[in-house]
C-alpha cells in the first residue's frame, strides 16, 4: 500500500530535519553575517548540495509554498537560494507543477545585458523569494528590491531554516508574507 501524501510529506520533513541536525549544524563560536555572535551555525549548503537531501528540500518546500496562489517562479540571492530553487524546480516538475527558477545577483552584471535577475521574464509575474537559512532577512530584502525593479510581484519569502532572530519581522514589515519549513525547536537548538 502506498503511503498517503501527508504521510510522505511528514516523512520527508522528518528526514530533512535529521540530515540538517546531523550534517549541517555546527557548535562553537561563530560570527554571523549580521555581525552577531552565536554558539551554533547552520550551514545548509552542507546538505542542500547533497544528492540525498536536495530532493527532500524540494518536497518540503513545495509543501510549504503550495497554498501561495499563481506562483510561476522561485529563487533568491545567489548562492544560498540557488540549490533550494533547483530542488523545487525539479521536484515540482516530477509532480507536474510548473515552477521555474531564477537567480538574483548581488549586483547587476557590468557586461552583456547587465541583468541582476537571471532566468525567465518575471515582469508582472508572482514569485517566491527563497533563502536557505535566515538570520536578519537582509538577503531576501535585496532580492525583493531587485525583483520589484523588474516588475515582479513577490508573493512570499520561503525559508528552509528560520533562526528566529528577526528576519520574519523585517520581511513582514516590507509587506511580504514569511514562511519557513524548519525552526530552531525542530533542530533541538532552542
Radius of gyration of the chain (CA): 16
| β-bridge mates for residue 178, sequence order | 157
- pTM for the full predicted model: 0.92
What CATH architecture is 5-187? 3-Layer(aba) Sandwich (3.40)
CB 34 within 8 A of CB 42: no
Cell of 123: 515582469
Long-range contacts of 90-97 (CB under 8 A, 24+ apart): 90/54, 90/55, 90/58, 91/55, 91/58, 91/59, 91/61, 91/62, 92/58, 92/62, 95/62, 97/62
Q: Which of 6-10, 53-57, 138-142 has the lowest mean pLDDT?
A: 6-10
Of 30 and 3, which is predicted with more confidence?
Answer: 30
What are the extents of the domains in the chain?
A: 5-187
8 — pLDDT class (breaks 50, 70, 90): confident
Count helices and strands in the chain by DSSP H and E runs: 6, 8
Q: Which residue has the higher pLDDT, 33 or 75?
A: 75
Would you say residue 22 has pLDDT above 80? yes
Provide the pLDDT for residue 190.
83
What is the DSSP track for 16-52? HHHHHHHHTEEEEEEE-TTS-EEEEEE-THHHHTSTT
Residue 113's pLDDT band, with cuts at 50, 70 and 90, is low
- Angstrom distances, CA of residue 152 to CA of 86, 88, 108, 129: 19, 19, 16, 11
At 109, the pLDDT band (50, 70, 90 cuts) reads low
Q: Give the residue with greater pLDDT, 72 vs 134.
A: 72
Q: What is the mean pLDDT of the chain?
A: 92
Closest alpha carbon to 160 in 38, 37, 12, 51:
12
Amino acid at each position: 500500500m502506498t503511503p498517503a501524501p501527508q504521510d510522505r510529506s511528514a516523512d520527508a520533513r522528518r528526514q530533512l530535519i535529521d540530515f540538517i541536525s546531523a550534517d549541517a549544524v555546527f557548535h562553537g563560536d561563530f560570527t554571523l553575517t549580521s555581525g552577531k555572535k552565536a554558539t551554533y551555525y547552520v550551514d545548509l549548503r552542507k546538505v542542500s548540495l547533497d544528492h540525498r537531501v536536495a530532493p527532500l528540500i524540494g518536497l518540503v518546500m513545495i509543501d510549504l509554498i503550495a497554498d501561495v496562489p499563481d506562483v510561476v517562479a522561485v529563487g533568491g540571492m545567489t548562492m544560498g537560494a540557488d540549490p533550494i530553487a533547483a530542488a523545487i524546480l525539479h521536484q515540482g516538475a516530477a509532480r507536474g507543477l510548473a515552477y521555474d527558477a531564477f537567480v538574483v545577483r548581488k549586483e547587476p552584471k557590468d557586461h552583456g545585458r547587465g541583468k541582476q535577475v537571471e532566468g525567465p521574464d518575471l515582469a508582472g509575474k508572482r514569485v517566491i523569494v527563497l533563502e536557505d537559512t535566515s538570520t536578519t532577512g537582509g538577503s531576501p530584502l535585496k532580492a525583493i528590491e531587485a525583483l520589484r525593479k523588474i516588475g515582479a510581484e513577490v508573493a512570499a519569502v520561503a525559508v528552509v531554516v528560520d533562526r528566529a532572530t528577526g528576519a520574519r519581522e523585517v520581511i513582514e514589515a516590507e509587506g511580504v508574507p514569511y514562511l519557513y519549513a524548519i525552526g530552531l525547536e525542530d533542530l533541538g537548538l532552542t
